[in-house]
């Protein structure tokens, strides 16, 4: 990749919600973006303003190393270069009382929400190290900071993702590769729609110091900043985008 070529971004879980907003913001900023998806195909109309040479929808199952390797290869072939910015956004959620969580529930949650980012980072790092530059942003959650009630396995995976972020930052920041996490609070997406429609969800909104839920665009702005050259001295951090719900 020449110095004039826009950087290559890979956003997992980018066909809807926060991931789609992140991918759209990177495209608007002029970067080349691989829009990762699994069960929800990319609607090209969502990215209609952007030329095909700067966008690549790529199907990937993040709990499979083979699938991630194939996705990285497709990105390399399409853009004639390796991933510069990795955004681990793909995730799953499941509401279940703690005593009803099965071994399979736990294992699948960890495979998607924690092992997936671990594998994606391993696959992206060699090229980043060779270039001496890279940005890794992991999308965690406020649930990974203050725990969960009906999503204990989700909260545990997201907490693990924060510690994975710190560990990778310790290992590779000296090589020009930063690793940070973004922890959204309640954001207007399909994933939290059910929660917000409940009485408990409404009480949560009423207790947010900012007085409202967040937007996808606000999360995307934080991610894009952490991916920029301006954020080169920020690493191992968790940026809270939660309207004041949690101050830790």
3-state helix, strand, coil in the chain (%, to 5): 50, 15, 35
Nearest Cα residue to 62 out of 38, 97, 30, 94: 38
Q: For tokens 């956003």, what's the residue?
A: 11
CA distance 150 to 233: 37
For the annotated catalytic residues, the residue numbers are 154
* Cβ–Cβ under 8 Å, residues 195 and 151: no
Indicate left, alpha or beta for 216 from its phi (over 0: left) and psi (-120 to 50: alpha).
alpha
* 183 three-state secondary structure: strand
CA distance 200 to 204: 6
* Cβ–Cβ under 8 Å, residues 27 and 55: yes
Rounded to 10°, the helix 152-172/103-110 angle is 30
Alpha helix stretches (DSSP H) within 111-181 = 116-131, 143-146, 152-172
CA distance 18 to 88: 11
Q: For tokens 């004039």, what's the residue?
A: 4
């Amino acid at each position: 990749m020449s110095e004039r070529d826009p950087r290559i971004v890979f956003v997992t879980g980018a066909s809807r919600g926060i991931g789609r907003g992140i991918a759209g913001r990177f495209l608007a900023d002029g970067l080349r973006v691989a829009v990762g998806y699994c069960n929800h195909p990319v609607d090209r109309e969502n990215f209609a303003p952007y030329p095909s040479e700067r966008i690549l929808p790529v199907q990937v199952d993040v709990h499979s190393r083979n699938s991630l390797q194939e996705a990285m290869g497709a990105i390399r072939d399409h853009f004639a270069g390796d991933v510069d910015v990795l955004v681990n956004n793909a995730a799953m959620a499941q509401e279940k009382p703690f005593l009803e969580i099965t071994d399979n529930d736990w294992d699948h949650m960890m495979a998607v929400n924690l092992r997936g980012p671990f594998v994606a980072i391993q696959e992206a790092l060699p090229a980043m190290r060779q270039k001496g530059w890279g940005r890794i942003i992991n999308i965690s959650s406020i649930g990974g900071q203050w725990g969960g009630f009906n999503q204990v396995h989700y909260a545990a995976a997201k907490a693990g993702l924060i510690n994975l972020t710190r560990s990778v930052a310790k290992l590779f920041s000296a090589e020009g590769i930063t690793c940070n996490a973004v922890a959204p609070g309640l954001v207007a997406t399909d994933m939290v729609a059910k929660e917000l429609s409940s009485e408990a969800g409404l009480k949560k909104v009423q207790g947010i110091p900012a007085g409202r839920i967040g937007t996808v665009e606000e999360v995307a702005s934080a991610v894009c900043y952490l991916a920029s050259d301006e954020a080169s001295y920020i690493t191992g951090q968790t940026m809270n985008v939660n309207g004041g719900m949690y101050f830790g």
